[in-house]
């Protein structure tokens, strides 16, 4: 497996989940669009994430170099994960009090 491509795919999927989550709350048309895809917006987010993850991996699997800096890949993915989780959590706190 190409770990560099998998790292890019993981961080972009996490970013996509975060964007879909917040956009879905701020824009009812987007949430309705997601609901229309699978019957429930959350199911659509999961399915889109899974397909996106596979597609991005396949795309970068061909393009990216085979020289892998695992530490760098993991550090970037970890920052994406931590910051995205915090953004989602703080967004819902803000929504609750707003």
| Residue 33 neighbours by CB distance under 10 Å | 13
Nearer to other proteins, 5 or 33 (CB): 5
Q: Which of 44, 41, 18, 19 is nearest to 31 (CA)?
A: 41
The CB-of-83 to other proteins minimum distance in angstroms stands at 11
The CB-of-37 to other proteins minimum distance in angstroms stands at 13
The CB-of-93 to other proteins minimum distance in angstroms stands at 6
Nearer to other proteins, 37 or 70 (CB): 70
Give the contacts of 23 (CB within 8 A, at least 6 positions apart): 30
Nearer to other proteins, 33 or 92 (CB): 92
Q: Which of 21, 35, 33 is nearest to 92 (CA)?
A: 21
């Amino acid at each position: 497996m190409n770990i560099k491509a998998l790292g890019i795919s993981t961080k972009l999927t996490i970013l996509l989940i975060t964007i879909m989550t917040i956009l879905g709350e701020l824009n009812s048309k987007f949430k309705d669009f997601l609901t229309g895809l699978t019957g429930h917006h959350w199911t659509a987010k999961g399915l889109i994430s899974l397909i996106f993850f596979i597609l991005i991996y396949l795309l970068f699997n061909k393009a990216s170099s085979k020289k892998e800096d695992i530490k760098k890949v993991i550090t970037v993915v970890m920052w994406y994960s931590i910051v995205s989780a915090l953004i989602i959590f703080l967004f819902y706190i803000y929504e609750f009090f707003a």
